[in-house]
Structures are given as structure tokens and as C-alpha cells.
Amino acid sequence: MVTIRIPTTLRTLTGGASQVEVEGATVSEALEALEAAHPGFAERIFDDEGNLRRFVNVFVADDDVRYLDGTATAVPEGGEISIIPAVAGG
């Protein structure tokens, strides 16, 4: 099992839960399990080509998966994935 931390803006999809436990050995597998358990995440996290949207950051522990193996990044048993939407403003 891995834990996925859910940002406030997406907690409506999880019934308000701030974290969800799913099975998955990679980020991709874990996010697919999240989508299966709580439909609606995929369209908010991935673009039409199946890539992470540029304004969505995904971390395994403290490491941005864009600088690792992307969604193929391995997640250790008991590991944590954080979904962090980019914040902009002025």
C-alpha cells in the first residue's frame, strides 16, 4: 500500500479525505488505482496525451517525479505520493 496525499481542491472526489491508500508499485499504478477508487482524478491530473498536466506536481516523498522517471517512478511499500497543484497569482 502507498498513501496519496490529496490537495484541498480535489478532496470533493474523495469525500473530503486528505489522503487515500491504494496499491501500486509505481506512480502510474497508484494513480490508476486512485482513479478506479475515486473517479474523476485522471481528467484533472493528466492531459489528453496521458501526460501529467503542467500545473500539477506529483512528488514521491520529497522528489518531483518530473526529475525522476515521471509516472514510471517506483514507489516503495508504505511510501507517500503527494499531488500538489501549482499556485499562481499576483
Stated pTM of the model? 0.91
In a domain, 90, yes or no: no
Domain span including residue 65 = 2-85
Structurally, the chain folds into a number of domains equal to 1
What is the 3-state secondary structure of the chain? CEEEECCHHHHHHHCCCCEEEECCCEHHHHHHHHHHHCCCHHHHHECCCCCECCCEEEEECCEEHHHCCHHHCECCCCCEEEEEECCCCC
**What pLDDT was estimated at residue 90?**
58
**What pLDDT was estimated at residue 86?**
84
In a domain, 45, yes or no: yes
**What pLDDT was estimated at residue 72?**
97
**What pLDDT was estimated at residue 5?**
98
| Average pLDDT for runs of 10 along the chain of length 90 | 96 96 97 96 93 94 95 96 82
CATH number for the domain spanning 12: value is 3.10.20.30
